[in-house]
Structure 1
Amino acid sequence: MTSILTNTSAMSALQTLRTINSNLSTTQDRVSSGEKVGKASDNVAYWSISTTMNSDNKALNAATDALGVGAAKVDTAYAAMDSAIDVVNEIKAKLTTASETSVDKEQVQLEVTKLQEQLSAISQAASFNGENWTVQADAASATTVVDGFIRDSAGAVKVTSATFDAGSYAMFSAISSGVGTGGVLGAVMTIALTSASTQGDIDAFLTTVQTALDGLTDGAAALGALSTRIDLQDDYSSKLSDAIEAGVSRLVDADMEEESARLSALQTQQQLAVQSLSIANSSSQNLLTLFRG
């Protein structure tokens, strides 16, 4: 039956065209944005996961940047201790030279004094962004380096850090008027040769120097271990960030080959639906032929 009041064929064709247009719009959005899940309504679960993981990844990248600052602090402190070891070895050599009875001990002391001044200068200059690990007033003080960001199974988040016992390995506990006191090198700064110094005095000074060298060596080793930890963490953070980004991509990124094929198919369907609607609308015009004489 054909009705001039209700064209069911046109209604069906129009509904089909609306569905195709809706699907076409969705596909065009995916092609233009590159995302199949761009908002919560696209897929609540995947959108929620991707939003959380993108946030965590940004925090992880920030922690990696902070790790670079920590690495700079470690490198600065290590450079100071490495240089201090060379200077203390020079003092050790000068004291050994002073053991010779014909050597003018006061002249040797002039060189030792300059080396002591160099130790203070090295420590005073070992500052990065206002933080100096080689000068610590508290022997129990510790410094930390941010090395990561984690989220546990319960959803709690926290920043992880590596610790360095700066107070235990500090070259000095204080530097006053350019002169270092206390710390690992405090006793070395008190060495003073005179013409009256005996071999026993020199041997005691050598023991003091050796103790300082042992302390500097331990501190440099601890910094070296921390530097290795930072390098490993930096490499791991980079790989972890890439893995998170790839995982999120699998959830929300559009398959461009698939979407391209779907777009072509929907455009063809749209053209056919428009023609179908045109045919359905023209069917009522065919009724006029029934009334022609």
Structure 2
Amino acid sequence: MSNVTTNRATSAALTVLRGVNKDLGVVQQQVTSGLRVETASDDPTYWSMATTMRSDQSSLSTITDALGLGGSKVDTASTAMDTVVNIVTQIQAKLVSAKEPGTDKDAVNADIQQLKDQLTSVTQSASFSGENWLYNTNSQADTQKSIISNFTRGSGGQVNLVSIDYDSSQTLMIDTQDPSRGLLTKNIDASTLGTSDGSSTARNYYLLAADGGTPPADGTEISISSSTTDAELTDMINVTNSLLTSVTSANSTLGLLKSRIDDQSDYVSKLGDGIKDSVGSLVDTNMEEAAVRQSALQTAQQMGIQSLSIANTMANKVLILLQAK
């Protein structure tokens, strides 16, 4: 039975239309934002998981920056070490040439001194972001370097940072405060490296004295003159060869560190991409599915409007019949 005051057909059509409009609004918002789960009310579990993972992704981005900074420091030190190896090699060659009879040792020494000055200049300029791993002027040398490389999340949600540690004492070439800490400024006992062809007054040699620094005690700087004996030259050559081995080894450790940083940067980048994909699978809108659903709801909306119109028309006809009576 029809009722003019309460039209059940109209109410039903209106209820259906409201539901369709609500669902359509949700789908349209998902399409616009690109997110299926945008707020906690959409899906508390997925929203919480996605929020935590986004935080991890942000942390990984910061770690990538830290690795980049650390890599730049290593690159700077490694580039300087390449030059140091080259210069020490040249000094050794100069000393060897000085053993040739008739060689002007004073002229050779002038070349050696220029190479030493270049060593000082190279090590002093090997600074990046306020750190110099080759040259120290502080009373306490900070040789423990750390580069943040990753983080772990514990079962309780706590975050623990992971670092790549490096002992830069092996690349410290010049120390103005304590020459024994610098590879190029410390004393080396020539008697432990080889047998000279005669007795030398001094058996401890160091390559150079740091600018403004105190030379090591009981040692002799590697420097030659016309009075330098073959025995002393042999000691100097042996010491220089030992230094060359040490600086080459130090440079190799920097290369290994750089390789480790590069590998870690690549891993962190891939890990960040993986987290991004995982977040997307949790909360992103499936645009193909949403487009189909949106089209279907728009059709249902049109049908609902038509149904409501038909229901209203029927109510008007009943009203006309009642007025005619």
Q: TM-score range by the shorter chain?
A: over 0.9
In 2, are the aligned partners of 1:74 and 1:223 still within 8 Å (CA)? yes
> Which position in structure 1 is the counterpart of 2:244?
213
State the alpha-carbon separation in 2 of the partners of residues 153 and 79 from structure 1. Answer: 42
Decide whether the 8 Å contact of 1:97 with 1:103 is kept in 2: yes
Answer with 281-290 or 198-207: which moved more.
281-290
Tell me the residue number matched to 1:161: 163
The alignment's TM-score, normalised by the length of structure 2, stands at 0.84
- Which amino acid in structure 2 is aligned with residue 195 of structure 1? S
Post-superposition offset of 1:150: 2.9
- 1:227 aligns to 2:258 (yes or no): yes
Q: Equivalent residue for 1:117?
A: 117
**Whole-Å Cα distance in 2 between the matches of residues 25 and 63 of structure 1?**
40
2:151 corresponds, among 149, 169, 172, to: 149
1:241 aligns with 2:272: yes
Kindly provide the CA deviation profile for residues 77-121 of structure 1, in whole angstroms up to 9, marking residues without a partner as x: 011111111110111011111112321222211111111111101
Mapping of residues 128-143 of structure 1, within 5 Å = 128-136=128-136, 138=140, 141-143=143-145
Matched, 1:292 2:321: no
Pair 1:112–1:168, CA change in 2 (3 A): same
* Matched residue count: 290
> What residue in structure 1 maps to residue 202 of structure 2?
none
Residues of 2 paired with 1:65 and 1:291: CA distance? 81
Q: Determine the C-alpha separation between the residues in 2 that align with 1:107 and 1:122.
A: 23
Comparing 2-11 with 259-268, greater Cα deviation is found at: 2-11
Using structure 1 for the length normalisation, give the TM-score: 0.93
**Separation in structure 2 between the aligned mates of residue 140 and residue 260 of structure 1, nearest angstrom:** 61
Structure 1 counterpart of 2:183: 184
Ranges in structure 2 where 5+ consecutive residues have no aligned partner: 186-205, 209-220
- Higher alpha-carbon deviation: 241-250 or 95-104: 95-104
Report matched runs for 1:1-293 at 5 Å: 1-136=1-136, 138=140, 141-174=143-176, 183-186=182-185, 187-189=206-208, 190-287=221-318, 288-289=320-321, 292=324
Whole-Å separation in 1 of the counterparts to 2:25 and 2:128 = 55
Q: Which amino acid is 1:184 matched to?
A: L
> Do 2:10 and 2:312's aligned partners in 1 also have CA atoms closer than 8 Å?
yes
For 1:12, the aligned partner's letter is A
CA distance in 2, matches of 1:60, 1:224: 24
The answer to whether the 8 A contact 2:135-2:175 is kept is yes
Q: Is the 8 A contact 1:145 1:163 kept in 2?
A: yes
In 1, Cα distance between the equivalents of 2:322 and 2:181? Answer: 116
Instruction: Specify whether residues 140 and 286 from structure 1 end up closer, same or farther in structure 2 by C-alpha distance, changes over 3 A only.
Output: closer
Distance 2:122 2:229 in 1: 30
Gaps of 5+ in 1: none
Task: Write the distance in 1 (CA, Å) between the matches of 2:254 and 2:164.
Answer: 11
Identity within the alignment, %: 39
- Name the SS of the counterpart of 1:149 in structure 2: strand
Give distance in 1, aligned partners of 2:322 and 2:144.
100
Task: Report if aligned partners of 1:20, 1:266 keep a CA contact under 8 Å in 2.
Answer: yes
Q: Alpha carbons of 1:291 and 1:129: their partners in 2 closer, same or farther (altered >3 Å)?
A: closer
Q: CA deviation at 1:284?
A: 2.5
Structure 2 CA distance for partners of 1:120 and 1:182, relative to 1, 3 Å: farther
